[in-house]
Amino acid sequence: QKLRSQVQIRVVGGSDYSKIAEQMGDEDEVIEKFDYIFSKHGRLLPKQTTHNHLGEELLQDLINSCLRYLAMLRPPKKRGTFIEFWNGMLNISPTGRSSTLEERVQFSELDKKEKIREEFVEALKTEFAGKGPRFSQGGMISFNVFPEGWDKRYCLDSLDQDSFDIMHFSGNETSPGGNDFEIYADPRTVGHSVVSTQVTVQRCPELFFPQRQPMRHDGIHA
């Protein structure tokens, strides 16, 4: 809120509003804390859905392919909710979104060595090449499937009408294939690659309250 007194704060996510509110706090409270969360000053932007955009036939082909591939995998643990249907995308988790934090860490460590999600995505890219779906890896245990052009840059189109001297974006999945990469590298933003909430908290005063401490430039991509 201290930062918001100086600049507008906007949260950009690929999931629907209820998921973002769940991550950020109480739903009514979240609306008041930020200037933008899939809405603009409290006015909801038009909702788009993956199934309307891709069509039911292609969507079912995607889901069936994912189910077949999931059936062949043997991660350390398998829990519930392997495919979650959000308005803007499908979220696919080889270990299941019902995993505990300990189980998520266990899968993440194995995934770093064996590239489980990366190989899964490559198989889907080959099968659905030229048909419209895009894929990006995010978080510890899953990856996302969404229509072409529906990455996080989608929100920038709703901001072009506003007069901003500069827009900063902070995210942790900023490498190619990560779900923050496109908006991080977009020429309309100054992208900041961070590895934790703590780094973001440290970086913001350096950027927006420079009179109090020197600004650091490491890791800043324009």
186 known ligand binder: yes
104 known ligand binder: yes
Burial of 159 (0-12, 13-18, 19+ CB in 10 A): middle
Strands 190-193 and 168-171, by their bridges, are parallel
Closest CA to 48 of 148, 120, 166: 148
Position 27: which residue type?
E
15 known ligand binder: no
134 known ligand binder: no
50 known ligand binder: no
Report the C-alpha gap between 184 and 105 in whole angstroms: 26
Q: How many CB atoms lie within 10 A of CB 191?
A: 20
Spell out the residues 6+ positions from residue 14 whose beta carbon is closer than 8 angstroms to its own. 86, 88, 89, 138, 144, 146, 151, 152, 179
36 known ligand binder: no
Q: Which residues share a beta bridge with 192?
A: 170, 220
68 known ligand binder: no
216 known ligand binder: no
Q: Which residues are annotated as a binding site for Mg(2+)?
A: 172, 184, 186, 189
Q: Which residues are annotated as a binding site?
A: 97, 104, 140, 142, 172, 184, 186, 189
Q: Which residues are annotated as a binding site for alpha-D-mannose 1-phosphate?
A: 97, 104, 140, 142
